Amino acid sequence: MATAGEEAVEPAFLQIAEFCQSILDVGGSPKSQEAMLHSARVALPPSAFLLLRYLELAGPLTVSQLADIVGLHPSTVSSQLRPLTSKKFVRRAIDTEDHRIVALSITMAGRSVCDRVRRAGAREWTLALKGWTQEDREHLGSLLKRAHDDLFAMIHERVESAQLKPA
């Protein structure tokens, strides 16, 4: 029930929010993230891997755009990018028209790292949903893919609208 000053929220959205919060609670701790990266044989700090994932999902981006998305200062993002660029997981490209602008994009090696971590996560979900039917797993996967695509379309729109705002 909504309290004064709050608008009512559809129960399905509350269930979705609860599920997402549970995912963050279980897998969002640095220890859980390190364990997942270790399971995937990825030698990166979780904070650097997060940037790699955003570049995979929403890139190419500038450092400022990436910093806005993850809610960090651009200097912090720049320092977290160092292991990604030194390992050739991220490529920097200078804009041909404005040499002050550097676009960051994920490389094939970076995509391979993301895929290994995704597969490690899939192994965990295999255990968690072992009692589900194939049809239920496929249905859930389809709905989550659709939600994922819509979420990142919204992020792309925010990045694009931020580019159009005067500095």
Does residue 128 surpass a pLDDT of 60?
A: yes
Does residue 59 or residue 107 have the better pLDDT?
107
Domain 33-164 fold is: Arc Repressor Mutant, subunit A (1.10.10)
Q: 68-101, pLDDT tens digit by residue?
A: 888 899 999 999 999 999 999 999 998 888 888 8
Alpha helices, H only, the chain: 11-27, 30-39, 46-58, 63-70, 74-86, 108-128, 134-164
Strand 90-94 to 102-106 pairing: antiparallel
Give the start-to-end residue ranges of the domains of the chain: 33-164
Note the pTM of the prediction, 2 decimals: 0.77
Q: 45-59, pLDDT tens digit by residue?
A: 999 999 999 999 888
